[in-house]
Amino acid sequence: MKKLLIFLLITMMVGVSACSQEKPSAQENLNKKEVSDNLVLVKGGISKNKKSNLYEKNVEISDFYIGKYEVTQIEWNEIMESNPSQYKGDNLPVEMVNWYECIEYCNKRSIKEGLDPYYNIDKDKKDPNNTSEIDDIKWTVTINSKANGYRLPTEVEWEYAASGGQDSKNYTYSGSNNVDEVAWYWVNSGNKKLDGEWYWPKIESNKNQTKAVGSKKSNELGLYDMSSNVREWCWNWYGDALDSKGGSLRVWRGGCWLSDDRACEFSYRGKFDPNGKGYDQGFRVCRNK
């Protein structure tokens, strides 16, 4: 009997050891793909910020990851092996990038990091939903909704994150009611602080330009520059933010170094030709949770 008990104990210990050493399933490995330190988990829910375009519309946002910072020039160069920016600096946000180039960056970065590309890009087929008379690119881009790779935020995701998500304190700008605390805009992005009316020659002579990402105060979720530095491309066509299936212009959100304070409000909606570029135009990335 004693020998039998010893045998049973040894068998149980071996079984427990074997279970503890079992390899995780493929799905578990997929779910545990490393998430960069520069991505922030945004917990989903219904918008709480009373100044949001989403407030009281009962739009349920799912959890997602979004870049803590705008994509920098060093990050862009590592993937695209070029730097199109007007104002050069490794930690400055990349600019002079159109919507299509940002989509392509997302896929190339996903592949480099062993993730599933989020976009299907057909460069030979003109997008039938693109009604622009200016856009000479018009790639057809569709999505793989379950992919874990990088992507642009939807307009709804961008606004929800910029407004503070479930931690919102009802700020007007992303992280503050004081624009100077959180934004680089035409008043403070040059050699000296400007006043009076917006006037391009005054801005140009003041050497205004982009600034290093993360130089201002973050918002409630730890996200930087969502009210400033460069305007940020979103996935959507400009139109109804909740139901935009086509159009001629893509959405951008957030203020920039040469915008006025109104455009720095997180609720402000902007639009631009998908093939358009500007030294105030950049982006940040997202990933599905």
Instruction: Confirm whether 29 is domain-assigned.
Output: no
Question: 265: closest CA among 274, 278, 256?
Answer: 256
Distance CA 92, CA 78 (A): 14
Give, in order, the Cα–Cα distances in Å from 39 to each of 6, 46, 170, 201, 230: 52, 21, 23, 38, 18
Instruction: Confirm whether 11 is domain-assigned.
Output: no
Report the Cα 168 to chain-centroid distance in Å: 18
DSSP 247: B
How many CB atoms are closer than 10 A to CB 280?
A: 22
Instruction: Confirm whether 233 is domain-assigned.
Output: yes
User: What's 139's domain CATH number?
Assistant: 3.90.1580.10
Using CB atoms within 10 A of its CB, is residue 148 exposed (0-12), middle (13-18) or buried (19+)?
buried
Q: How many domains does the chain have?
A: 1
DSSP 34: P
Instruction: Confirm whether 8 is domain-assigned.
Output: no
Q: What residues make up the domain containing 186?
A: 35-288
Residues 244, 238 contacting (CB under 8 angstroms): yes
Instruction: Confirm whether 54 is domain-assigned.
Output: yes
Instruction: Confirm whether 1 is domain-assigned.
Output: no
Instruction: Confirm whether 19 is domain-assigned.
Output: no
Instruction: Confirm whether 5 is domain-assigned.
Output: no
How many CB atoms are closer than 10 A to CB 169?
A: 13
Q: Tens-of-pLDDT digits for all 289 residues of the chain? A: 444 434 433 344 334 333 334 444 433 443 444 566 899 999 999 999 999 999 999 999 999 999 999 999 999 999 999 999 999 999 999 999 999 999 999 999 999 999 999 999 999 999 999 999 999 999 999 999 999 999 999 999 999 999 999 999 999 999 999 999 999 999 999 999 999 999 999 999 999 999 999 999 999 999 999 999 999 999 999 987 677 789 999 999 999 999 999 999 999 999 999 999 999 999 999 999 9
